[in-house]
Amino acid sequence: MGRFWDPFRLLTLIAIVWTLVLIGVGAYVRLSNAGLSCPGWPACYGHLTVPTRTGVIQRVDRLHPDHPLVPRKAMKEMFHRYLAGGLGLVILAIAVLGWSRARRTLGRPRYFPLLILLLVLLQAALGMWTVTMELEPIIVLAHLIGAFLIFDGLLLLWAMDTHALHWKEEVPSFVGTMDRGSRTDPA
């Protein structure tokens, strides 16, 4: 039981669940037509939080007449961004832990967490392009595929670390009876 609560494994498991939730939230944002409710990135109309005061909303609407601010939709979009940012930090911690742990222990994944971190950075760029290119279908598709690649990568990382995957090949029984210089039939 102690090995399950290893910080690397626990963070990886948290990231797996977090990624799945984030994919669901992303689908909800898109299907509720809130995907373009904050046309800038990463801020929402230049603010880190969604503007809710009447005066600020009126000023934003004057500055962006083609994208009026709908706070309820913008909150959905920003929640998705905050959730994604938090996941990025968790995956950064996984990459750092994975790198330092692999240096001390043989057989631990060393480069794979860094690959997942690179995927997260690419995913952030795709998220930005999804907004700035106003839901260009190929970008939206790439963003969704990126999310599933991160999810799959985290699952694989967890399986490799917990040894849930065994990469042993089955060796035929006659292999041990073969002499180096001769061929014998396994009869």
Catalytic residue list: 77
Q: Which residue do the tokens 């794979």 mark?
A: 112
- CA atoms of 2 and 5, how far apart (whole Å): 6
- Give me the residues paired with residue 47 across strands: 44
- CA atoms of 14 and 131, how far apart (whole Å): 27
- CA atoms of 161 and 145, how far apart (whole Å): 24
- Could you give the angle at the alpha carbon of 151 between the alpha carbons of 35 and 39, nearest 5°? 15
Nearest residue to 110 (alpha-carbon basis) of 157, 154, 148, 150: 157
What's the count of helices (H) and strands (E) in the chain, helices before strands? Answer: 5, 0
Q: Using an 8 Å Cβ cutoff, are 71 and 52 in contact?
A: yes
Name 68's Cβ contacts closer than 8 Å, sequence gap at least 6: 61
